[in-house]
Structure 1
Amino acid sequence: METNDTYYETYEKNCTQTQYTYMSSFGVELAVPEWEAIITAITLTSIILLTVVGNILVILSVFTHKPLRIVQNFFIVSLAVADLTVAILVLPFSVAVQILGRWEFGIHVCKMWLTCDVLCCTASILNLCAIALDRYWAITDPINYAQKRTLKRVLVMIGGVWLLSGIISSPPLVGWNDWPEVFHNDTPCQLTSQQGYVVYSSLGSFYIPLLIMTIVYVEIFMATRKRLRERARASKLNVVKINQPQNKEMAHDQDSVSSETNHNEHPHLLEGNSKSREKKKKSKKKRKKIEGDGSLKDKYLQKPSIVAEDSVTDNLGDGGSGSHGATSLNHCEDHQTTETPKSRNASQKDHGPPSAISGSITVPTAGTKKQVPMYQFIEEKQRISLSKERRAARTLGIIMGVFVVCWLPFFLMYVIVPFCDSCCPSDKLIHFITWLGYINSALNPIIYTIFNMDFRRAFKKLLHLKP
């Protein structure tokens, strides 16, 4: 049954589109049937609410949860602010245009809406680029960049992101546009299709940041894979090194037994070998003394390659803040590395002298303390480290994949249509591709926090959920 009351035609370039109008129960003309308008309004409003709530939680988490108050997380805050402004200033008007099929808010609000659209979406994309660069510098030059990554430097970078976004979005306001001189209710409020500005804005808003992010994340992925291989080799070597002292001691004991047997069978050799036995006894006593001091452990255990905590593991691993370990084993290791000689001596009185062969370490688990053999502790630490690096590498792929899927279709359409007179995408296709880009603002807080235990804990605390 035909439900449209009237229809009219719009002409843009060489495209002719027939626009039907449908009368709603409230006497308002709609661009789609009323049932479709209701479904569209519910769906898009849900996306807006998800974007608002998610990004507000991210901002509050950084400022209220102590483990998250680190300088690199201000990039995440800036990203959340950009995505939040998209949800508040841009998306509601986009819902109205999609349902009504026309602009009802005047020329000045139209210019404000289009400018905010370009500004906020560009800021969101450039913040993603800044996060990628921060992680690249942290993983490729961890020692020097740890000193350079100050609050002032981070704030300057964030200010640069917003300033560049303003430079990209403002030219249409000063005349670089093809907006009509006279604006009527049936005049579409849409981004300028002036070819020079389209090239300028698309390069600054998407294509150059995409190129930078691709190069940076490829470098990060390669560095991560290299670290995985190095740590895997270190893990194997540690197992071998741990077992070597046991084999040497067994061989030494067998030599001692064999020597004593030979002496009993050949008494005339006893006197000649007495000096040799004395030297062996002194050597054995000296080795036991070294073991009692705990220094033999450092001699035989190869320490895994030291890699400073960076933004990749900070924000994508379990531990979140760099100084907070992923598990209780991490806390245990941190405690061990800061142990003073006095506390070490006290520990030796309680638990006996540690050694590379049979030493153990106290690990807190579920409110209790458990003695774990040293070799098991080392192997567990290596396993956690390797698992953390694999998760970080996998998450980098998710970040790039979601970003490209959300924004590439829009910017392809944005660049192609002004230069192609015969390219006439339908309104529904335009709305779908545009909202696909907007959805990235809802996914960002999920992607950048779902792999971080500290953010999850902060979210649960803010929402008053059980931990």
Structure 2
Amino acid sequence: FINNFIIAMEEVEYCFKNVNNSCIKVSRSLRVRAVMYAILSSITIITICGNLIVIISITHFKQLHSPNNFLVCSLATVDFLLGLCVLPFSIMRTVETCWYLGSIFCQISLCIDNLLSCASIFHLCFIAIDRYYAVCSPLTYTTKITFKVVYIFIGIAWILPTIFSFGLIYTKANVQGIEDLVMILSCEGGCILMFNKLWAVLVSTVFYVPCVIMISIYAKIFTVARRQARMIKNMEEKISMEEKKRRENQKREQKAAKTLGIILGVFLFCWLPYFIDAPIDVFINFATPTVVFDSFTWFGYVNSAFNPMIYAFFYPWFRKALKLLITCRIMRTSIMNLFPNDFH
């Protein structure tokens, strides 16, 4: 029995062999690791490239310079930075089940991860507000949602999450009162973000409250859009050409609202499992298996890869810009003639 116990101890693999209190490394075959690297790397590449195309398209083509598209561009920047600054290191941590980049970089990575997740929620909130005015108050939309207002929205969507994320983690407010538990669960080679019960509830509130507000806004938008669609259908033969043009513009705004509503739905679908499990995990002393928690986290990350796919499916300008980028003709294309019929 003693010999078997010694052999079992020797077979246990640690993140750092010669370091006391090293985390235990999950042993995986080369084939399993290769498949995991391939899948997670593909998600990362799609996230980076897809969102980069959105950023280039909106910034390069003047016809796409609208308040709404600038919000979309800023959201794409959030997703792009997630793919560039967070996902490559999360791949290593997920596949190898160890963190080899030191505690300081671990803290920075966790801060950036939390920052970008919060920034996504803020951007989606402001996009919902923009679509509300575009569909429900089309006559006052251009006066209420100006470029100046959008710049303020974007500033808030970046500054508040930055202060919240870095302030919370670097003041260690998130682990006050559970220091002993953190010491027990911490080991060399680990990099996880823990919360006490208070902050677990508060962080969940930062997710759930904006989501409820956004769902309410989009419910109102689609109610108004349906009513407008019925009015347009009933008056189609009676209205003037100028009125028809205004109605067409309303249809475009409604289509944009529908597309961004789908983006919100996908965001909720991807992140809800994580935000359900994360606060529960705190109250059960972080007993969620690592593989389950990592799966929920990556399911949330996949949302950043889905967004460009949604743009590709619903927005003709995205498909045209992608074609121009692939064929290297983007710098030679006339900006004024690129999108003659659709700006959205």
TM range (shorter): 0.7 to 0.9
Secondary structure in 2 matching 1:105:
coil
Distance 1:303 1:316 in 2: 18
**1:455 lines up with 2:318 in the alignment:** yes
Q: 1:426 to 1:438 in 2, by over 3 A?
A: same
Higher relative contact order (CA 8 A, sep 6+): 2
Amino acid corresponding to residue 171 of structure 2 in structure 1: V
Which residue, 8, 12, 16 being the options, matches 1:7? 12
Which residue, 229, 246, 252 being the options, matches 1:313? 252
Alignment-derived partner of residue 406 in structure 1:
270
Distance 1:183 1:60 in 2: 44
Distance 1:432 1:4 in 2: 28
Give aligned pairs, total: 309
Checking the alignment, whether the CA contact within 8 Å between 2:135 and 2:253 is kept in structure 1 is no
Shift of 1:408: 0.4
Which residue, 146, 169, 174 being the options, matches 2:171? 174
Distance 1:157 1:102 in 2: 38
Q: How does 1:62-77 map to 2 (within 5 A)?
A: 62-77=58-73
Distance 1:313 1:203 in 2: 34
Alignment-derived partner of residue 293 in structure 1:
none
Amino acid corresponding to residue 452 of structure 1 in structure 2: Y
Return 211-220 or 191-200, whichever deviates more: 191-200
Checking the alignment, whether the CA contact within 8 Å between 1:407 and 1:436 is kept in structure 2 is yes
Checking the alignment, whether the CA contact within 8 Å between 1:90 and 1:116 is kept in structure 2 is yes
Checking the alignment, whether the CA contact within 8 Å between 1:62 and 1:77 is kept in structure 2 is yes
Checking the alignment, whether the CA contact within 8 Å between 1:417 and 1:424 is kept in structure 2 is yes
Shift of 1:187: 5.0
Distance 1:109 1:302 in 2: 59
**1:60 lines up with 2:45 in the alignment:** no
Distance 2:53 2:9 in 1: 43
Checking the alignment, whether the CA contact within 8 Å between 1:234 and 1:302 is kept in structure 2 is no
Q: How does 1:218-233 map to 2 (within 5 A)?
A: 218-233=219-234
Q: 1:304 to 1:62 in 2, by over 3 A?
A: closer
Secondary structure in 1 matching 2:221:
helix
Alignment-derived partner of residue 418 in structure 1:
282
Amino acid corresponding to residue 101 of structure 1 in structure 2: T
Shift of 1:416: 1.1
Shift of 1:188: 2.3
Distance 2:268 2:185 in 1: 35
Checking the alignment, whether the CA contact within 8 Å between 1:67 and 1:454 is kept in structure 2 is no
**Any idea what the Cα deviations from partners look like across 1:148-193, whole Å, max 9, x if unmatched?**
3222111011001112212331212112133757998635211122
Q: 1:443 to 1:21 in 2, by over 3 A?
A: closer
Distance 2:187 2:284 in 1: 27
Amino acid corresponding to residue 230 of structure 2 in structure 1: R
Checking the alignment, whether the CA contact within 8 Å between 1:169 and 1:201 is kept in structure 2 is no
Shift of 1:432: 1.0
Unpaired segments of 5 or more residues in structure 1? 10-17, 23-31, 242-296, 318-391
Q: How does 1:314-463 map to 2 (within 5 A)?
A: 314=253, 316=255, 393=258, 395=259, 398-421=262-285, 424-463=287-326
Q: 1:107 to 1:181 in 2, by over 3 A?
A: farther
Shift of 1:197: 1.6
Distance 2:9 2:298 in 1: 26
Checking the alignment, whether the CA contact within 8 Å between 2:134 and 2:141 is kept in structure 1 is yes
Secondary structure in 2 matching 1:143:
coil
Distance 1:306 1:66 in 2: 22
Distance 1:231 1:456 in 2: 29
Q: 1:449 to 1:233 in 2, by over 3 A?
A: same
Checking the alignment, whether the CA contact within 8 Å between 1:316 and 1:449 is kept in structure 2 is no
Alignment-derived partner of residue 157 in structure 1:
153
Amino acid corresponding to residue 78 of structure 2 in structure 1: A
Q: 1:314 to 1:62 in 2, by over 3 A?
A: farther
**Any idea what the Cα deviations from partners look like across 1:102-139, whole Å, max 9, x if unmatched?**
22111100110110010011112221221111101111
Q: 1:219 to 1:465 in 2, by over 3 A?
A: farther
Q: Which has the higher helix share?
A: 2
Unpaired segments of 5 or more residues in structure 2? 1-7, 15-22, 330-337, 339-344
Shift of 1:396: 5.5
Distance 2:316 2:9 in 1: 53
Alignment-derived partner of residue 33 in structure 2:
37
Distance 2:266 2:113 in 1: 20
Checking the alignment, whether the CA contact within 8 Å between 1:234 and 1:305 is kept in structure 2 is no
Provide TM-score, normalisation by structure 2. 0.80
Q: How does 1:52-201 map to 2 (within 5 A)?
A: 52-170=48-166, 171-178=168-175, 186-201=188-203
Distance 1:19 1:225 in 2: 57
Q: How does 1:167-316 map to 2 (within 5 A)?
A: 167-170=163-166, 171-178=168-175, 186-204=188-206, 206-235=207-236, 238=237, 306-307=246-247, 309=249, 313-314=252-253, 316=255
Alignment-derived partner of residue 335 in structure 2:
none
Q: 1:397 to 1:148 in 2, by over 3 A?
A: closer
Shift of 1:303: 5.5
**Any idea what the Cα deviations from partners look like across 1:221-276, whole Å, max 9, x if unmatched?**
101111111112123xx2xx7xxxxxxxxxxxxxxxxxxxxxxxxxxxxxxxxxxx
Task: Tell me which structure has the larger Cα radius of gyration.
Answer: 1
Shift of 1:217: 0.7
Shift of 1:425: 2.4
Taking only the aligned residue pairs, the percentage that are identical comes to: 32
Alignment-derived partner of residue 18 in structure 2:
none
Checking the alignment, whether the CA contact within 8 Å between 2:136 and 2:224 is kept in structure 1 is yes
Distance 2:10 2:272 in 1: 37
**Any idea what the Cα deviations from partners look like across 1:341-386, whole Å, max 9, x if unmatched?**
xxxxxxxxxxxxxxxxxxxxxxxxxxxxxxxxxxxxxxxxxxxxxx
Q: 1:167 to 1:207 in 2, by over 3 A?
A: farther
Checking the alignment, whether the CA contact within 8 Å between 2:311 and 2:318 is kept in structure 1 is no
